[in-house]
Structure 1
């Protein structure tokens, strides 16, 4: 028989663990944040507590199994698609994992539940930072000031393709400089590690219509001192 103090302790512990994970999602402005993760973790813990009392002579895992499978609808609601990009998968995984942690705490499996919570927090905070560093090391933004002409973007794409450079996004800005209309292309690309950004910029500068080329690794780092002009 689970005492009242034990019930309170398990529910409060579930709320604390879910809150810590949800806080990380909240700081990053994700679809499901602090309150959602607390509710999922505490609710799962309560279901497990109810299972233990309701199935004293049977299988207490019946209700728990329904939580693990049924939580998918909530996770699916956090997944968003924008063009070719899919966002929210990590938050959806967090919600599902929080439900599992809640079930573990609810049944009294404290050690495994807390280790799992620690791994989740480490993955979200430390590995998320590492992921960004790896991505930034491969990603460049090329800024080309051009005179608009037919086939210009196609020629630029062909040149980048010869170097196995993958284009992620192209932003076209039209500006008037000294009374003349100029087109600025900001191209987000992934450059193979064996390629040198300086040599790619030099070749881009030789394309007809391109007046200057500059590159930056990320918005925070700012443009590098690779600026070539006629």
Structure 2
């Protein structure tokens, strides 16, 4: 009968190599999109999780038959689940109302789970999970871009002459392009080049598409009374 506390060196090597492969597949997708946690990070998380799972299950086999010794193979794995939260939190960036990095943080968490699964010898669940994760990251990303309309936040800074059109007209021009003004800030000063009284307007807007920002800024620049436009 096979001893549940023992594992061959070949089996350990295969599990570690499989964890590198699975972590690399998920990390490659993140790397292609230039995310903070990419290929190497996902590989290391999956490999580390697999190694800790192997250590937790088989690393204390010499003490299994000792009196008053109670081994818990899930103890170290539980600490990995807690610890991965700190790494995932480091990939999340909050800018105003927009939050980025959540998908990468989730992929790190799933890669950790797959590493633990491989370390425990559950190859089929880990492989199926890897396929499902790749389908989710690649396939659903295409679906979202094609069918889900996501609005993008941007800031427009305008310098207007004193004879410039009323802000209501600018608002209507932006509305015609599907742009909604979220926040507005006004200030008066002298324009640097010719000391003409000018109005500084900062608009926080939402756009239907990110690539629309440049064309909108160029369009506003051509409006009579608008001295300069900057967008970010």
Give the TM interval when normalised to the shorter protein.
0.5 to 0.7
- Residues 1:40 and 2:53 are matched in the alignment: no
Asked if the contact 2:179/2:205 (under 8 Å) is kept, the reply is no
Secondary structure in structure 2 of the residue aligned to 1:81:
strand
CA apart distance, 1:27 = 0.7
Shift in CA distance, 138/30, structure 1 to aligned 2, threshold 3 Å:
closer
Shift in CA distance, 219/112, structure 1 to aligned 2, threshold 3 Å:
same
Query: Could you tell me which of 201, 205, 219 is aligned with 2:211?
Result: 219
Query: Could you tell me which of 118, 123, 126 is aligned with 1:113?
Result: 126
Aligned to 1:52: 57
Secondary structure in structure 2 of the residue aligned to 1:125:
helix
Higher Rg: 2
Q: Compute the TM-score of the two structures, normalised by the length of structure 1.
A: 0.66
Q: Compute the TM-score of the two structures, normalised by the length of structure 2.
A: 0.65
Aligned to 1:92: 105
Aligned to 1:102: 115
Aligned to 2:147: 134
1:134-175 CA deviation, whole Å, 9 max, x = no partner? 344878x9xxxxx866683355548988xx9744799xxxxx
Shift in CA distance, 138/29, structure 1 to aligned 2, threshold 3 Å:
closer
Q: How many Å separate the matches in 2 of 1:50 and 1:99? A: 15
Query: Could you tell me which of 20, 30, 37 is aligned with 1:15?
Result: 20
Q: Which structure has more RCO (C-alpha within 8 Å, separation ≥ 6)?
A: 2
Shift in CA distance, 59/92, structure 1 to aligned 2, threshold 3 Å:
same
Aligned to 1:152: 166
Secondary structure in structure 2 of the residue aligned to 1:219:
helix
**Gap regions ≥5 residues in structure 2:** 1-5, 65-70, 155-159, 185-201, 216-222, 224-232
Q: How many Å separate the matches in 2 of 1:70 and 1:64? A: 10
Secondary structure in structure 1 of the residue aligned to 2:94:
strand
Q: How many Å separate the matches in 2 of 1:159 and 1:23? A: 42
Asked if the contact 2:181/2:203 (under 8 Å) is kept, the reply is no
Shift in CA distance, 49/136, structure 1 to aligned 2, threshold 3 Å:
same
Q: How many Å separate the matches in 2 of 1:104 and 1:55? A: 19
Query: Could you tell me which of 80, 83, 87 is aligned with 1:70?
Result: 83
RMSD between aligned residues: 4.5
